[in-house]
Structure 1
Amino acid sequence: LDQNNAILTMNGVGTSLNAIADFYTNLTATGYFKNIDVSNAQDSAGNFVFSLKAEFSPPRTATPGGQPAAAEGN
């Protein structure tokens, strides 16, 4: 795993293209990554070596007026 500012680059091995696609889908579903780019190649052992580059972009949750949410009392 390498990081250059908000850009993460990771290399890995998947047992199938579907496994790599599931990983991509799960990263997207978190809402923390955008501009995800995956490249795939099959190695001699039948596994799939991949390189993935993504921009880390955590979702922003704002409260109205920038005030913290009120705690509920008993």
Structure 2
Amino acid sequence: MLVFNYLGKKMNFKDMRVSAHTFRQTFCHHLAISGMSAFAIQKLMRHQSISVTMRYVAMCGNELREQNDKYNL
């Protein structure tokens, strides 16, 4: 926990939560933006349900959800 407090102060993040979860969520979001499929992200992040993965990547818009719905019946 001290590491994340230090990073938050060092990077001057005043109103932003800095935690392992934040880094994990950001990593997942960047994977989705770069075009990685939701299924691949699900496996990489070890989510048991695709719905959990879809919550993480929902910020990318509906395109990812539409592709997932199309190929994962």
The structure with more radius of gyration: 1
**TM-score normalised by structure 2 residue count:** 0.28
Structure with the largest fraction of helix: 2
**TM-score normalised by structure 1 residue count:** 0.28
Q: Greater RCO between the two (CA within 8 Å, min separation 6)?
A: 1
Structure with the largest fraction of strand: 1
